[in-house]
Structure 1
Amino acid sequence: MLRVAISRKKVLTLCYGNFVGCYSSCADGSFRVNGVDQYIQRSKVPTYHFQKSLPRLPVPKLEDTCKRYLRAQKPILSEEDYKKTEKYIKDFEKDAGSNLQKTLKEHDVKNKQTSYISEPWFNLYLSDRIPLPVNYNPFLVFINDTNEKYNDQLVRASNLLISSLRFLKSLREKVLEPEVFHLNPKKSDTSFFRQVTGFLPSSVSWYGAYLFKAFPLDMSQYHSLFNSTRIPQIGKDKIFQDTTKRHIVVMKGGHFYTFDVLDIAGNIVSPSVIESSISYILKQEDKAEFPLGILTTMNRDSWAKLRAQLESTNNQQELNIIDTSLFNLCLDDSHLLDEIAFVRQYLHSDGINRWFDKSFSLIVGKNSAGINFEHSWGDGVAILRYFQDIHRDSTSKPFVHPNSNSTSDQASTLVKKLDFKLNDELKTAISNRVKEYKNYCQSIDINIYEFKSFGRNLCKVHQISPDSLMQLAFQVAYDRLHDKQVATYESCSTAAFKHGRTETMRPCTIETKEFCKALRSKQRPTNSQLKDMIIKCSKVHSQLIKEAAMGQGFDRHMFALRLLAEKSGLSLDVFKDPAYSNINKNILSTSTLTSDLVYLGGFGPVVQNGFGVGYSIWNERLGSLISNYKEYSDGSGFIKCLETSLADLYTILKDTAV
């Protein structure tokens, strides 16, 4: 990048190759090029300042993992099956497990630059052959701008794009605020904290933050946000990235368009160029007869074979433009009328105007905007940070305004439409997949429920974890529906560690099972007794969350040990045990991303007869979005049971006021 020392309020015209740009340094500290302040943030502490001193993800003690594994199995197994599993795990701990643990720790010591789970977890994603939409790609929908005029599709798409580029520039120039979890924001989220920790060398900066009870989070995933894509290959996909490219790809009506959004010096082009280019694309009314993006909804091996055909018929350049684009911008024609329609549009759509392989797609419709992201490269921490930053920036500092009337004359020369050469076999595959995908999407049921009687505030009064209460409600609901307990997954980030990903927290516990039984017992305990049981469930839940966040869960550890066993050619009873397989088939897959800027968010079920449960907790209400396959599970029945369960929990808490 061209670097120039510029005094305040001084404007210079600089020539760089064929580019002429107007640079200015402003009194407010902003740095404008082409009329755009180039940075969304100008952090005094460099973006990756804490990265070097982040603690490493610990390898749990084998005996702790075995105990935790058995405790998680107990509520979902019969007494007979539990005894078998108990024997398998104890034999494993005494014999093969000890040797595998030693090998794992030796490997971990030799790879101090990363975590022991990073590569195998990454490979797990890339090796799975099932389609990405619904199965892997989650979605988030923005709340709308409070000024309705700025929700216009052209205005919003332009501003979200500019804010995304400002985020990108800040990230690459290392002036994006480091991601830090502040245990006590009033004391640590301050200029003094930044001054002190910024002064410390990177090698010890984490320890300085820790003294403030602030915990810097791993930011290694952030670089994969832009210019990257997942490319299908037989057996195992790969992630490809080229950070030298300056263009985005815009999808409209199943067609692909591209234009440069960074100039030759790497600076954001003018807002008028961005607005006029998007305006030009929005005016293109024709629909793709053979929408290529639908192929990204396929089984990964099937898509890999078709992509190889595309490459062999002189489409390499067009595919490379999609693969290397900063990200994908999808301009949808839809005007969504209800929440279910919102979920379907952002979770899966009809697949015609999507390229699900991109790291993320920014989707802007007639009355909504959101993102759908590919999951192998990263997790919720990175995507939520991007999501929140660009929403705040685009609504507080918009560069494009209603009725700006930017001309599209220049855009016709700037915007290029990608022209794919398709043979008859590819055309047939596309047409068939459009029909297949439609049927697949129709097999998915979506239910949304909002409970308005209470939320976080009532839980605080009773000193109960709001998350534990919501998870308890899911357990009670499933028990009401099927009279049993099942494997349940709650996502927990381990981003407090270098290259941490996620850990599974197991909300189905011995305590929640006892509560479910008590609630349905003919000799039901008093509400006061039930409240005591809720408090007990909450304490256990909070402890499990703490263990998972600190890298002390059992799931990732067991997974790593299993991979080592397979690599060594070992066939071990503990991993052949049906109980091990069953606990990893999560009937209830749950996750929450708490943010006031998220209107809706969710994902699909991870097993055929399961539920994808996205949930939100507010001060005075609770919400849940449930996805499932109609043929194999009862989504509406689960929602009804959830409603009853939350009503029961509310009554218990209300009647036992502190």
Structure 2
Amino acid sequence: MAEAHQAVAFQFTVTPDGIDLQLCHEALRQIYLSGLHSWKKRFIRFKNGVMTGVYPGSPAGFMVVVVSYMSYNKYKQLDPSLGLIAKLGQHIPISRYMSTDSQRIVGGVLVGTGLWVTIIMIMRNVLKSLLSWHGWMHARHGSVSWSTRLWMLLVKVFSGRKPMLYSFQNSLPRLPVPSVKDTCRRYLESVRALMDDEQYERMKGLTKDFEKNLGPKLQWYLKLKSWWASNYVSDWWEEYIYLRGRGPIMVNSNYYAMDFLYVFPTSIQAARAGNAIHAIMLYRRKLDRAQIKPLMLLHTIPMCSAQYERMFNTSRVPGVDTGRVFSTVLFYSLLTMGPSLPDILQHMNESKHIAVFHKGRFFKVWMFYDGRLLLPREIEQQMERILADKSEPLPGEENLAALTAGDRTPWARARETYFSRGKNKQSLDAIEKAAFFVTLDDTEQRFEPDNPVKSLDSYAKSLLHGKCYDRWFDKSFNLIVFKNGTMGLNAEHSWADAPIIGHLWEHVLSMDPVKLGYTEDGHCCGEPHPNLPGPQRLQWDIPAECQDTIQSSLTLARTLADDVDCHIFPFDDFGKGLIKKCRTSPDAFIQIALQLAHYRDKGKFCLTYEASMTRLFREGRTETVRSCTMETCAFVRSMIRDETREERLKLLKMAAEKHQNMYRLAMTGQGIDRHLFCLYVVSKYLGEDSPFLKEVLSEPWRLSTSQTPLQQVELFDLVRHPEYVSSGGGFGPVADDGYGVSYIIVGENLINFHISSKHSSPETDSHRFGANIKQAMLDILDLFQLEKKAM
């Protein structure tokens, strides 16, 4: 109860002698320090907002322009306002009381400011025009043309100096809207290999009809939106693909990230949590201060940073049934959702605590004391207190988080009915308004060299869904720390894509064992705090009816989790080092290998999704690369048939070039699927029925793939310390009879694959598919006969 007494700033009692006032100076001190911290943060945000708002200008540049302008006019004996002050004097009485020198100074400042703003706007628009050119993508690897060199020089000149995270947001071009004709042509090309002649002719007829009749009408509305909105795709994509979905987000939407593969910094759970939480909070501080450098392709071309804004203090809140049908419920929502409002993303500007789950209990842990962030050993101290707490969960508390793992509608109803008042609301607010969620897991997960397959598969499943009630799947991300010190992340998908959370995770992994470190006995460096108030146990009053809803959600979630077949394997036979010697793009090489593996696995081709980013544009997220092309299928067939090595290499080269070209188109806003999706959204708003769009958007992605890029290579010295490699992350299968495949290229000699499917499908087996991927990679490499060339 010590922390409860410290929370009371003052007490008073009425006595016959008057009022007896008792002040708690420690509590008042903490209130003062907390307020000071908040005002400092507000000032920093205001300052950063100004700096970002005038970028590539700066206060120093303002002074240079104004002083230079006034000095020039003083030397030339000219009126710096060009008569403006005299004209204003006819309307503003204050100018009558100003001396001539004062008028000159004021006029010089006003005109100089206008000149400074004009220069900024010119630089921004020139930079936006420069960034709209994407010819640099077509240069061969290792060779840069003079035109590209000149373009890159101009980009650097107009990019300004020392940009902050959001400095380029106003200079990024808007995502262009492809023409209906080009999109339809590319769509037909993408499905030709998957259809027989009769199916293709039928689809060709639907496409031509759409292109001629309904398409131009829908395109007009889409063009109008692209002129008005910052990005014509992202808001609809977030709402209709993520937030309007009524099924479980566990497995179906959330994804995970793993720890180091071979390094185990400490086996003490509380210590690992202490360093990781402190590193995450340091990252948040840098994010709040916009001190994180914007990602730049080729160290020159900026990418959009908008997705970072909701990384912390964010929670997905389930939408409540409205009791009526919305005519604007779109995409699969129209077929599966029924009458309901979408979920919303609740983001807080500030949060000073985290929420922690351990053995069925929820705790609120403050991250600041004495006006500063808790140190790693102090956070470890708080985690130790939670681990030592032997209290039992309250009725309904242990499985409460299963509500976030089940269908969204029951969770929305329960939240409105049972969590909108009293102690339940206060405790729920503590979770939803926390900086992030932490699970101190009571299981042990780790890569075991003696049992690599089973250990990694179990590790992945635990991160993906756990016990279905020990992760708060609605939080922007969950930090999971296992009993033996291994850790990982589970992230909600609607607020951002995987590279954003990957950027945070790289920061944490690079700080944890090296910069923060541990003592010889495995604890965090530093000393415990003698007066640190302990964690606050959250209180609940969950009635029996709500407990029934929790149990129903848990049953559904367990059925879904038990059906997931995960297989993770490190492919260390070779990596991008040898692939580059083949003069082939590593991503194209792997994607073609996946097509060969899938054909061997199922005996057929399928519609394939590869995620590509569109962050070269403002508020860009992702686009789809349809990796199963006619060229790739021709190569795969040559590997099945008795073709010569020369013919196979020729077809492989054509397939790789085709894949690279499609990837470029996707990155530059010329993809197929986001355009068709938005046309479908407009058609539903207008009440127009399109057989073409309906059929296109109902086609299942039986092979969904994604590369997890290593973005901050400079943080890891993989040459001297190859053991400090991340295992990457993965996601659940998109189709019931399909595969989900994620891969991360680490260093020169390692590629980690994450495969998921469903046990209930007789067509899939993640381990079988993994074996086929490994064999396909080896078979393709054998075509180049690098051993003979080295001799």
Return the offset for 1:624: 1.8
Structure 1 counterpart of 2:273: 157
- For 2:350, which of 231, 235, 244 is the aligned residue? 244
Which AA in structure 2 matches 1:620? N
Match of 1:629 among 758, 762, 783: 758
Query: Residue 740 of structure 2 corresponds to which residue in structure 1?
Result: 612
How far apart are residue 313 of structure 1 and its match?
6.1
Q: Which residue of 2 aligns with 1:517?
A: 637
| One-letter amino acid of the structure 2 residue matched with residue 301 of structure 1 | T
Q: Is the partner of 1:414 in helix, strand or coil?
A: coil
Q: Structure 2: any 5+ residue segments left out of the alignment?
A: 1-27, 38-43, 45-160, 321-339, 447-454, 711-723
Question: What is the match of residue 785 of structure 2?
Answer: 654
**Which residue number in structure 1 is paired with residue 474 of structure 2?**
357
Residues 197-232 of structure 1, C-alpha deviation per residue, up to 9 Å, x if partnerless? xxxxxxxxxxxxxxxxx1111111111011110001
Secondary structure in 2 matching 1:598: coil
TM-aligned CA distance change 1:83 to 1:144, over 3 Å: closer
1:274 positional shift = 2.1
Partner of 2:708: 593
Pairing 1:209-288 to 2, within 5 Å after superposition: 214-234=300-320, 235=340, 236-263=342-369, 267-285=372-390, 288=393
Task: For 2:603 and 2:343, locate their aligned partners in 1 and report how far apart those are by CA, in whole Å.
Answer: 40
The residue aligned with 2:140 is none
For residue 417 of structure 2, the aligned residue among 309, 313, 332 is 309
Q: Deviations over 1:390-416 (max 9, x none)?
A: 2212333217744468558745x4311
Work out which of the residue numbers 213, 225, 240 in structure 2 matches 1:95.
213
> How far did residue 621 of structure 1 move?
3.8
Partner AA of 2:225 in structure 1: H
Distance 1:472 1:657, change over 3 A: farther
Structure 2 contact 456–569 (Cα < 8 Å) conserved: no
Matched to 1:81, the amino acid is: Q
Which residue in the other structure is 1:419 paired with? 539
Pick from 55, 59, 62: which aligns with 2:180? 62
Q: How far apart in 2 are the matches of 1:465 and 1:122?
A: 31
8 Å CA contact retained: 1:254, 1:293: no
Aligned residue pairs, count? 587
2:327 corresponds in structure 1 to none
1:346 matches 2:447: no
Q: Do the aligned partners of 2:236 and 2:678 also contact (CA within 8 Å) in 1?
A: yes
2:246 aligned partner, one-letter code: R
Mapped partners of 2:368, 2:508: distance in 1: 17
Q: 1:432 to 1:110 in 2, by over 3 A?
A: closer
**Residue identity opposite 1:238 in structure 2:** I
Aligned match for 1:644, one of 741, 752, 775 = 775
Query: Structure 1 residues 433 and 493 mapped into 2: Cα distance closer, same or farther (>3 Å)?
Result: same
Equivalent in the alignment of 1:497:
617
What percentage of aligned pairs have identical amino acids?
Answer: 29
Q: CA deviation at 1:20?
A: 8.7
In the TM superposition, 1:135-154 aligns within 5 A as: 135-143=252-260, 146=263, 148-150=264-266, 152-154=268-270
Structure whose alpha-carbon radius of gyration is higher: 2
* Aligned equivalent of 1:475: 595
- Is contact 2:601-2:769 (8 Å) kept? yes
- Deviations 1:485-528 (Å, cap 9, x if unpaired)? 1111001011111100100011100011111222222xx11112
Tell me the amino acid that sits aligned with residue 176 of structure 2.
P
Structure 1 gap segments, 5+ residues each: 1-13, 24-30, 32-42, 189-213
Query: With structure 2 as the length reference, what TM-score do the two structures score?
Result: 0.71
Query: Secondary structure at the residue paired with 2:384?
Result: helix
Contact 1:15 1:21 in 2 (8 A): no
Q: Name the SS of the counterpart of 1:539 in structure 2.
A: helix
Does structure 2 conserve the Cα–Cα contact (< 8 Å) formed by 1:139 and 1:601? yes
Residues in 1 aligned to 2:531 and 2:630: alpha-carbon distance in whole angstroms: 66
Contact 1:138–1:602 (Cα < 8 Å) also in 2: yes
Q: How many Å apart are 1:481 and its aligned residue? A: 2.4
Question: How much has 1:642 moved relative to structure 2?
Answer: 2.4
Per the TM alignment, residue 418 of structure 1 is displaced from its structure 2 partner at its CA by 0.7
What is the distance in 2 between the residues matched to 1:171 and 1:535? 43
Task: Indicate conservation of the 8 Å contact 2:728/2:752, yes or no.
Answer: no
Equivalent residue number for residue 94 of structure 2? none
Q: CA deviation at 1:247?
A: 1.0
Of residues 565, 583, 591, the one that matches 1:445 is 565
Q: For residues 420 and 95 of structure 1, what CA distance do their matches in structure 2 show?
A: 58
Which residue in 1 is equivalent to 2:153? none
Q: Is the 8 A contact 1:101 1:561 kept in 2?
A: yes
Deviation per CA, 1:46-65, whole angstroms, max 9, x where unpaired?
A: 22111111111111122221
> In structure 2, the residue corresponding to 1:612 is in which secondary structure?
strand
SS of 1:281 mapped into structure 2: helix
Counterpart among 507, 522, 528 of residue 389 in structure 1: 507
Counterpart amino acid of residue 215 in structure 1: I
Coordinate RMSD, CA, aligned: 2.5
Tell me the distance in 2 between the aligned counterparts of 1:376 and 1:424. Answer: 32
Q: Does 1:320 align with 2:429?
A: yes
User: What TM-score, normalized to structure 1?
Assistant: 0.84
TM-superposition CA deviations, 1:221-248 (whole Å, max 9, x none)? 1110111100011321011112233111
Q: How does 1:400-439 map to 2 (within 5 A)?
A: 401=519, 402-403=522-523, 406-407=527-528, 410=531, 413-439=533-559
CA offset at residue 438 of structure 1? 2.8
Aligned counterparts of 1:559 and 1:167: Cα–Cα separation in 2: 35
How many angstroms does 1:262 deviate by? Answer: 3.1
Residue by residue over 1:86-124, the C-alpha shift from the partner in whole angstroms, topping out at 9 and shown as x without a partner, is: 11112211221112112111121122xx20001100112
The one-letter code matched in structure 2 to 1:259 is V
| Greater CA drift, 551-560 or 440-449 | 440-449
Q: For residues 484 and 505 of structure 1, what CA distance do their matches in structure 2 show?
A: 19
Structure 2 Cα separation of the partners of residues 145 and 479 of structure 1: 33
8 A Cα contact 2:278 2:374, kept in partner: no
Q: CA deviation at 1:345?
A: 1.0
Q: Distance in 2 between matches of 1:467 and 1:536?
A: 14
CA distance in 1, matches of 2:530, 2:363: 16
Q: 1:603 aligns with which of 708, 731, 748?
A: 731
**Per the alignment, in what secondary structure is the counterpart of residue 351 of structure 1?**
coil
The DSSP-based 3-state class of the residue aligned with 1:622 is strand
CA drift of 1:429 comes to 2.7
Which residue among 355, 376, 385 is the counterpart of 2:494? 376
Deviation of 1:170 after TM superposition, in Å, equals 1.2
Contact kept? 1:44, 1:175, Cα under 8 Å:
no
Q: Check whether the contact 1:253–1:352 (CA below 8 A) recurs between aligned residues.
A: no
Task: Please tell me whether residue 19 in structure 1 is matched to residue 19 in structure 2.
Answer: no
Partner of residue 126, structure 1: 243
Question: For the Cα contact (< 8 Å) 2:437–2:479, is it kept in 1?
Answer: yes
Q: Letter of the aligned partner of 1:303 in structure 2?
A: W
Quick check: which one's helix share is greater?
Answer: 2
2:755 counterpart SS class: strand
The question of whether the paired residues in 1 share the 8 Å contact of 2:708 and 2:728 is answered with: no
Q: Are the structure 2 counterparts of residues 517 and 155 from structure 1 closer, same or farther at C-alpha, using a change threshold of 3 Å?
A: same
Following superposition, the deviation at residue 571 of structure 1 comes to 1.0
- Which amino acid in the other structure matches residue 344 of structure 2? K
Cα offset, 1:321, TM superposition:
1.0
The one-letter code of the counterpart of 2:318 is P
Alignment correspondent of 2:604: 484
Shift of 1:45: 2.9
